[in-house]
């Protein structure tokens, strides 16, 4: 069969999407005079802004008469659910590793999934044009990683390519060439054609697409038999039941788009239109003798957050969707394609518990909802605890930090304060490589502190390892906050007088409400302040002459930084145009009563 199915996996920022760009150009998917730009596969606004891949995508290219289906996967462990479901479509993996950094925690996470599925690996050591790169050491480290992950004899005998996606060359040695054909030739040579089992139709749905004309589209790889237009099928549901259906239209992938066909045989990836009510992981099977494929195993979420309607005084000013029904419908829709997410109803109809893989996983969902016109309030992220053998246990992660040697002491100090234990400390040139075992709770809010302590030099990555006994209280934020006493527009006069009390999150002229967090206090403990007081008119000068006040610019925090910053009695108001920090109880007297009640209990 002239088909190869290959997934590209790597740690974030090791160059997956750039390599896919080069494959697209090398196989002339576009006309020579067509304007394509960079990072062609990252077509989602959030992906382009952040420079990361969030959703797995597939394209197909033709090389030497062979059709190669290429699947671009995310590098963040937070989006591991995306990787777990699409690896089922591949027969081989292209493991991309940075020639300086070597295998990182998330490389290990995705590679383990690929090796367990018996996929054939090709290792590509990328960015060999970087100064202080060490391709030979990295090659040894990759071999060691394969060995640790119990790779088979065949998998350990992996071929290796060296090169630079950015400069557009790859070779079996370190000698630069002028093209990336070595990668494509290696795929044809080392990745086997899809195995085709004898028997009736079986196709597992591993992805879904949506079209306003065609409705929901099921995407997957035909693992057995043939699927044809107009064919009657049975949909094997996750609960074991069967639903009858009919294939209305059938598409295969060609270049960046889809091409309509009449039938697709086993081994190819296709898109099926016309099946109602399917979910990812279900099997499209033969009408007469339906047989289901094993369900895709997805790792459990490790963190949850409370999502609720926006109940601040500024409710409904900016968003289109503000009711709890809107919020619930949107979260249920997200569950269809986001396999690592869980949503649970609470006693309060306006609040939902949303479980995810990590802060980035949940923040991408919140950011997407904001852009779609939703208003919501989200609480502090909490880790999910379990009881194992009668003992309370929490998730632990392996934290890897690469930092200049001068700052290593500060990093060790910061992590040990958060109940982390050092596992490895070794030198990599001028950099110090540190590995820690740390509770997931300890990582919340650690990144910003670490970047401050290391002058922005620390490179931090982490991945879930296992559940272990609860480590006790981990110190949170050191400083309190300044809270607005009353509603109105903040004035330069008030902010100027309060500058020595803390660092502000607002500028003069911004509207505030009572209970809104306006600044970080320089001391522990919260303080209620009046930021809307104007200068009184005197017979000496007009109340408007405030030109002489020198106010420091406000602190700009991203959504993830806000999620890591807030404490248990605080929440974030997210609307299409604003992100505001606030206390859950807006009234000052209510907060005092609640604090007293907590002390007595």
Annotated binding-site ranges: 13-18, 126-129
Instruction: Please tell me the chain's helix, strand, coil percentages from 3-state DSSP, rounded to the nearest 5.
Output: 25, 35, 40
Q: If 0-12 CB within 10 Å is exposed, 13-18 middle and 19+ buried, where does residue 9 land?
A: buried
Q: What is the 3-state secondary structure (H, E, C) of 113-143?
A: HHHHCCCEEEEEEECCCCCCCCHHHHHHHHH
What are phi and psi for residue 560, nearest 5 degrees?
A: -65, -40
SS3 (DSSP) at 208: strand
Q: If 0-12 CB within 10 Å is exposed, 13-18 middle and 19+ buried, where does residue 43 land?
A: exposed
**How far is the C-alpha of 16 from the C-alpha of 22, rounded, in Å?**
10
**How far is the C-alpha of 292 from the C-alpha of 298, rounded, in Å?**
18
**How far is the C-alpha of 374 from the C-alpha of 310, rounded, in Å?**
9
Residue 283 tokens read as: 């099997």
Count of helices and strands (H, E) across the chain: 15, 35
**How far is the C-alpha of 171 from the C-alpha of 161, rounded, in Å?**
6
**How far is the C-alpha of 459 from the C-alpha of 402, rounded, in Å?**
5
Q: Which of 538, 588, 579, 589 is nearest to 555 (CA)?
A: 579
Residue 80 — left, alpha, or beta (φ > 0 → left; ψ -120 to 50 → alpha)?
A: alpha
Q: What value, to the nearest 5°, has the Cα angle with vertex 508 and ends 46 and 576?
A: 25
What are phi and psi for residue 161, nearest 5 degrees?
A: -120, 150
SS3 (DSSP) at 472: coil
**How far is the C-alpha of 283 from the C-alpha of 240, rounded, in Å?**
10
Q: What are the binding residues for GTP?
A: 13-18, 126-129
**How far is the C-alpha of 521 from the C-alpha of 426, rounded, in Å?**
38
Name every residue whose Cβ is closer than 8 Å to that of residue 271 and which is 6 or more positions away in sequence: 209, 217, 218, 219, 250, 251, 252, 253, 258
State which H helix or E strand residue 344 sits in: strand 342-345
What are phi and psi for residue 206, nearest 5 degrees?
A: -110, -5
Report yes or no: 9 and 124 within 8 Å, Cβ to Cβ: no
What are phi and psi for residue 78, nearest 5 degrees?
A: -60, -30
SS3 (DSSP) at 459: strand
Q: If 0-12 CB within 10 Å is exposed, 13-18 middle and 19+ buried, where does residue 405 land?
A: exposed
SS3 (DSSP) at 72: strand
Report yes or no: 226 and 264 within 8 Å, Cβ to Cβ: yes
């Amino acid at each position: 069969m002239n088909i190869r199915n290959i997934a590209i996996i790597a740690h974030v920022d090791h160059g997956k999407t750039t390599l896919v760009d080069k494959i697209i150009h090398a196989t002339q998917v576009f006309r020579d005079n067509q304007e394509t730009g960079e990072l062609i596969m990252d077509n989602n606004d959030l992906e382009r802004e952040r420079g990361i891949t969030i959703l797995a995508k597939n394209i197909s290219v033709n090389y030497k008469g062979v059709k190669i289906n290429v699947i671009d996967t995310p590098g963040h462990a937070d989006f591991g659910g995306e990787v777990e479901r699409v690896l089922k479509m591949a027969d081989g993996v292209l493991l991309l590793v940075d020639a300086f950094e070597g295998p990182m925690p998330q490389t290990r996470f995705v590679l383990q999934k690929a090796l367990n599925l018996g996929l054939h690996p090709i290792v590509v050591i990328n960015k060999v044009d970087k100064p202080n790169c060490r391709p030979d050491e990295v090659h040894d480290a990759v071999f060691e990683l394969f060995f640790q992950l119990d790779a088979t004899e065949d998998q350990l005998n992996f071929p290796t390519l060296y090169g630079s996606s950015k400069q557009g060359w790859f070779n079996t040695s370190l000698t630069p060439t002028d093209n990336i054909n070595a990668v494509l030739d290696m795929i044809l040579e080392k990745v086997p054609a899809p195995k085709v089992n004898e028997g009736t139709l079986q196709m597992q749905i591993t992805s879904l697409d949506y079209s306003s004309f065609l409705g929901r589209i099921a995407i997957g790889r035909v693992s057995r038999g043939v699927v044809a237009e107009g064919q009657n099928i049975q949909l094997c549901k996750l609960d074991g039941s069967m639903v009858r259906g009919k294939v209305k239209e059938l598409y295969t992938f060609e270049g960046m788009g889809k091409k309509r066909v009449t039938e697709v045989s086993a081994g190819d990836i296709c898109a099926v239109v016309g099946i109602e009510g399917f979910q990812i992981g279900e099997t499209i099977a033969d009408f007469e003798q339906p047989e289901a494929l094993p369900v895709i195993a997805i790792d459990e979420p490790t963190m949850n957050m409370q999502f609720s309607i926006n109940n601040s005084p500024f409710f409904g000013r900016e968003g289109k969707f503000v009711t709890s029904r809107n919020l619930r419908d949107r979260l249920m829709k997200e569950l269809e394609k986001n396999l690592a997410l869980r949503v649970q109803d609470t006693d309060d109809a306006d609040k939902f518990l949303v479980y995810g893989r990590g802060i980035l996983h949940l923040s991408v969902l919140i950011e997407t909802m904001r852009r779609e016109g939703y208003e919501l309030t989200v609480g502090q992220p909490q880790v999910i605890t379990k009881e194992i053998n009668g003992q309370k246990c929490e998730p632990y992660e392996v934290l890897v930090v690469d930092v200049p040697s001068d700052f290593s002491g500060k990093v060790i100090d910061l992590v040990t304060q958060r109940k982390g234990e050092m596992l490895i400390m070794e030198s990599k040139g001028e950099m110090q490589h540190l590995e820690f075992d740390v509770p997931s709770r300890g990582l919340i809010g650690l990144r910003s502190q670490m970047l401050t302590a290391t002058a922005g030099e620390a490179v931090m990555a982490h991945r879930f390892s296992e559940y272990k006994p609860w480590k006790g209280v981990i110190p949170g934020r050191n400083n309190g906050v300044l809270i607005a006493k009353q509603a109105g527009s903040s004035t330069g006069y008030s902010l100027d007088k309060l500058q020595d009390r803390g660092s502000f999150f607002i500028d003069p002229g911004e509207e505030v409400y009572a209970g809104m967090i306006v600044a970080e206090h320089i001391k522990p403990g919260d303080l209620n302040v009046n930021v809307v007081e104007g200068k009184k008119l005197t017979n000496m000068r007009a109340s408007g002459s405030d030109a002489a006040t020198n106010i420091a610019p406000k602190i700009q925090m991203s959504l993830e930084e806000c999620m890591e910053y807030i404490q248990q009695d605080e929440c974030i108001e997210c609307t299409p145009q604003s992100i505001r920090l606030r206390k859950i109880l807006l009234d000052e007297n209510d907060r005092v009563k609640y604090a007293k009640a907590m002390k007595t209990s």
